[in-house]
Amino acid sequence: MAVRFQKENGIFTIDTKNTTYQMKIDSYGCLLHLYYGAAVRENMEYLLVYADRGFSGNPYEAKEDRTYSYDVLPQEYPTLGTGDYRSSALIVKNADKTECCALKYVGHEIKKGKYALCGLPAVYAGGSEAETLEIEMEDEVSGLSVKLLYGVLAEEDIITRSAVFINRGTSEMVIEKAGSACLDILSGEYDLISFYGRHAMERNFQRNPLMHGNMVLGSRRGTSSHQYNPAVILAAHNATEDTGACYGMAFVYSGSFQFEAEKDQFGQIRAVMGLQPEQFHYPLAPEERFTVPETILSFSGNGFSGLTANFHNCIRNHILRGNDPKQAGPILINSWETSYFDFNGNTILALAKEAAGLGIDLLVLDDGWFGKRDDDNSGLGDWVVNEEKLGGTLNDLSKKINELGMQFGIWVEPEMVSEDSRLYREHPDWALCVPGRKPVRSRNQLVLDFSREEVRTYVFDSICKIIEQGNIRYLKWDMNRSISDLYSKAGVPGRILYDYVRGVYDFLEKLVQKYPDLLIEGCSGGGGRFDAGMLYYTPQIWCSDNTDAIDRTRIQYGSSFFYPVSVMGSHVSAVPNHQTGRVTSLKTRGITAMAGTFGYELDVQNLTAGEKEEIREQIKTYRQYAGYIKTGSYYRLSNPFSDPYAAWLFVSEDRKKALLNVVMLEKHGNMEVIYVRLKGLLRGEIYVDGSTGRGYDSSALMEAGVPLSLQMNEYDSCQIEFTLRQAGTGGGSSCLH
């Protein structure tokens, strides 16, 4: 059993393969957090030290005991109004407008299997793979019942947390802040690692020491956002890629969120992940329920690489769905950077013909195929094929593409409407807009009110018609602006953002159920909604609108801490790159795109015969490695934000093959030699460098590394497969010395 309860001392212990999580019902019925970290066999209550701390209040029940204070004790799910002045996980406004809530233990259940969340994405696992702990707490005065949910995937070292509120009182209350998980750490110096960004430069790595005070990040945009990813690491000061303690927290949610990390007066750390409290005031009527989206937690004592392995396994095996999420997806070519809005049926078919000849599997017709849409100022919402532009029906085009042996896919942006569209003219009130105010325009488009079922149903039906017309195997689901103007004809402003995200999930769930073979790629101006919530419906997400290979090494590096490469949409595009103007070789662009879903987004007709041949070879190479790129282990071998090179490694599940990838980011005069250390190989074995046939002792490859050739110039790259063999042979090497 991963979850144990000891009645005699009220202690809950959750054991995973390498970690222990412990909490305790104290003598006043409050749930204290005791420990989360490397596996221990101990009652961790001994860690709690009691003292009379000035200005730290005491619960009334403690009588004269001035050493008992919730201002000091580690809490499992802190609420406002108990004398704990640190960040709370839950704030409720009661019917009498007071904001007190004191949750006391009512009961608990330990169940086989992992809980599911109604209408929200969550980690899934079978009865033999997981356990669930439900702890019921209640505020006696208001009647608010809170069910704390813990999902335990012991083998994966994963613990998930969520909470369900039920108003068992007689009057309406309003939830003002809803945290999903709180983590109190009693001691130690910690850094916060977060992934900030902007459009076309998402998920930059940032590491800052926690100081006294609060570090707060999140999104108010209605989407998880380009600006801060809803996944963070608390790393011990001395933690590195391969050593030291670190905690990962990933929110399985695609809307506004908030993460707080607080170092309190005694140097204790509190981390709270949950919904963004601004613009959130959720009324809860008697007997109504509210579910907080889930947070995935993991602890690694072996640095970030251990954490990454846990999250990659969890996302690949317990978040992604579909027929076989582990199988390499199709290699696609996307029309966007090829021709933007400037295409017709013939040009698309010509592109498909050329692409088919190169070995590409699927053609995606991006923006511009519907309504009146020759630029991004009109047409959104009118999901009707522009047959004049295509020179025929969608079915005609898809048939012709299928005849080339290729599959066909399209781009859609279901959540949006252009003011210049038939849909808007007919239903102006379907767009989010505050009465008496002008809405905020972004990319000249407005947001449809997806919190309303009638709106979703209309769009769902029109998108289904398109899918069925065109034998569509792939759908790129885009969302190209942040949400504003929170007013809904159907709802309360304070719940729109949450209801909107649930509306998106509801739509996607219906789509996934109706078309189980449809591959959906998420997108939001590139990677503006790149989170575990979306991955539950869309097993891949366009990583960034920036396709420059050099910037991509950094964007994909930042993304890799939590998300497996198989979910990162990544394409080879034209040079000079459309976003940066940078020129890199086809080889470097290919190697970088292989650390992702791998595809193309350039006019392959304009290439020389030599380049076309190179693409044919690139595709063969990708297919050769795709199996273990998707299912194997991924290792970061450098930090491209600080090192002059980017290096990463894929190791097959049986660890007999390893694919080393290096891109030189900067070149300087008379440069020092760069040694790249491999990881994850079997010890005491010989691995052969596929480019030279030379064998190396695996420990040598991992401890001393391999020197990169000084001949590698700026933006040069190399990709070398190392294969396990019993005996080594001599030989030179290509890009290694």
Residues annotated as catalytic are 531, 611
In the bound complex, what is the minimum distance in angstroms from residue 548's beta carbon to ligand GLA?
Answer: 14
In the bound complex, what is the minimum distance in angstroms from residue 527's beta carbon to ligand GLA?
Answer: 8
For the segment 440-499, give every residue that binds ligand GLA (CB under 6 A).
Answer: 478, 480
Residue nearest to ligand GLA (CB): 367
DSSP-assigned beta bridge partners for residue 417: 446
| 79 vs 547 by CB, closer to ligand GLA | 547
* Sequence-ordered list of residues with C-beta below 8 angstroms from that of 575, at least 6 positions apart, any chain: 582, 583, 584, 589
In the bound complex, what is the minimum distance in angstroms from residue 222's beta carbon to ligand GLA?
Answer: 17
The dihedral through the CA atoms of 196, 201, 207, 208 has a sign that is negative
**End-to-end distance of the chain based on CA atoms, in angstroms?**
52
Q: What does DSSP say about strands 144-153 and 257-263: parallel, antiparallel, or unpaired?
A: unpaired
In angstroms and rounded to an integer, the radius of gyration of the C-alpha atoms of the chain is 27
In the bound complex, what is the minimum distance in angstroms from residue 690's beta carbon to ligand GLA?
Answer: 34
Stretch that binds ligand GLA, among 99-107, 200-208, 243-251, 518-526 (CB under 6 A): 518-526
In whole angstroms, give the CA distance from residue 56 to residue 178. Answer: 24
In whole angstroms, give the CA distance from residue 458 to residue 449. Answer: 12
Stretch that binds ligand GLA, among 482-490, 521-529, 579-587, 668-676 (CB under 6 A): 521-529
526 binds ligand GLA (CB under 6 A): yes
| 449 vs 478 by CB, closer to ligand GLA | 478
Applying CB under 6 A, among 536, 542, 561, 600 the residue interacting with ligand GLA is: 542
Q: Does residue 443 sit in helix, strand or coil?
A: coil
538 binds ligand GLA (CB under 6 A): no
| 293 vs 525 by CB, closer to ligand GLA | 525
| 191 vs 367 by CB, closer to ligand GLA | 367
In whole angstroms, give the CA distance from residue 262 to residue 86. Answer: 8
Q: Does residue 583 sit in helix, strand or coil?
A: coil
In whole angstroms, give the CA distance from residue 597 to residue 602. Answer: 16
Stretch that binds ligand GLA, among 16-24, 136-144, 449-457, 519-527 (CB under 6 A): 519-527
Count of positions (residues) in the chain: 737
Q: Which of 163, 159, 167, 176 is nearest to 136 (CA)?
A: 163
DSSP E strands: which ranges in 2-130?
Answer: 3-6, 11-15, 19-25, 31-38, 90-93, 104-112
In the bound complex, what is the minimum distance in angstroms from residue 715's beta carbon to ligand GLA?
Answer: 23
Stretch that binds ligand GLA, among 10-18, 161-169, 239-247, 522-530 (CB under 6 A): 522-530
Q: What does DSSP say about strands 31-38 and 19-25: parallel, antiparallel, or unpaired?
A: antiparallel
Helix, strand, coil percentages for the chain (3-state, nearest 5): 20, 35, 45
The HSE-up count of residue 539 (CA atoms within 13 Å, CB side) is 24
For the segment 371-390, give every residue that binds ligand GLA (CB under 6 A).
Answer: 376
Backbone φ/ψ region at 584: left (φ over 0), alpha (ψ -120 to 50), beta: beta
In whole angstroms, give the CA distance from residue 508 to residue 510. Answer: 5
Would you give the distance in Å from CA 510 to the centre of its chain? Answer: 21
| 129 vs 374 by CB, closer to ligand GLA | 374
Residues in contact with ligand GLA, counted by CB under 6 A, come to a total of 12
Q: Are 178 and 223 in contact (CB under 8 A)?
A: no
Residue type, 84: D
The dihedral through the CA atoms of 165, 229, 116, 517 has a sign that is positive
In the bound complex, what is the minimum distance in angstroms from residue 336's beta carbon to ligand GLA?
Answer: 5
| 262 vs 337 by CB, closer to ligand GLA | 337
| 159 vs 348 by CB, closer to ligand GLA | 348
Applying CB under 6 A, among 367, 415, 485, 716 the residue interacting with ligand GLA is: 367
| 478 vs 689 by CB, closer to ligand GLA | 478
Q: Are 651 and 679 in contact (CB under 8 A)?
A: yes
In the bound complex, what is the minimum distance in angstroms from residue 551's beta carbon to ligand GLA?
Answer: 15
| 133 vs 479 by CB, closer to ligand GLA | 479
* Sequence-ordered list of residues with C-beta below 8 angstroms from that of 21, at least 6 positions apart, any chain: 13, 14, 35, 36, 150, 159
- Inter-CA distances, 205 with 465, 523, 560, 562, Å: 42, 21, 10, 12
| 523 vs 586 by CB, closer to ligand GLA | 523
409 binds ligand GLA (CB under 6 A): no
| 580 vs 692 by CB, closer to ligand GLA | 580
For the segment 242-261, give every residue that binds ligand GLA (CB under 6 A).
Answer: none
| 523 vs 626 by CB, closer to ligand GLA | 523
In the bound complex, what is the minimum distance in angstroms from residue 361's beta carbon to ligand GLA?
Answer: 19
In the bound complex, what is the minimum distance in angstroms from residue 372's beta carbon to ligand GLA?
Answer: 15
523 binds ligand GLA (CB under 6 A): yes
In the bound complex, what is the minimum distance in angstroms from residue 523's beta carbon to ligand GLA?
Answer: 5
In the bound complex, what is the minimum distance in angstroms from residue 380's beta carbon to ligand GLA?
Answer: 10
In the bound complex, what is the minimum distance in angstroms from residue 514's beta carbon to ligand GLA?
Answer: 23
Applying CB under 6 A, among 336, 498, 600, 625 the residue interacting with ligand GLA is: 336
CB atoms within 10 A of CB 59: 18
Applying CB under 6 A, among 21, 35, 411, 561 the residue interacting with ligand GLA is: 411
545 binds ligand GLA (CB under 6 A): yes
283 cis-preceded (ω within 30 degrees of 0)? no
Q: Which of 542, 459, 525, 431 is nearest to 223 (CA)?
A: 525
| 291 vs 524 by CB, closer to ligand GLA | 524
In whole angstroms, give the CA distance from residue 73 to residue 375. Answer: 58
366 binds ligand GLA (CB under 6 A): yes
Stretch that binds ligand GLA, among 243-251, 263-271, 466-474, 520-528 (CB under 6 A): 520-528
Would you give the distance in Å from CA 309 to the centre of its chain? Answer: 14
CB atoms within 10 A of CB 251: 28
In whole angstroms, give the CA distance from residue 715 to residue 587. Answer: 10
Q: Which of 650, 547, 630, 652 is nearest to 590 (CA)?
A: 547
What single DSSP character describes residue 199? Answer: T
Stretch that binds ligand GLA, among 105-113, 247-255, 387-395, 523-531 (CB under 6 A): 523-531
In the bound complex, what is the minimum distance in angstroms from residue 479's beta carbon to ligand GLA?
Answer: 9
139 binds ligand GLA (CB under 6 A): no
Binding site for ligand GLA (CB under 6 A): 336, 366-367, 376, 411, 478, 480, 523, 525-526, 542, 545
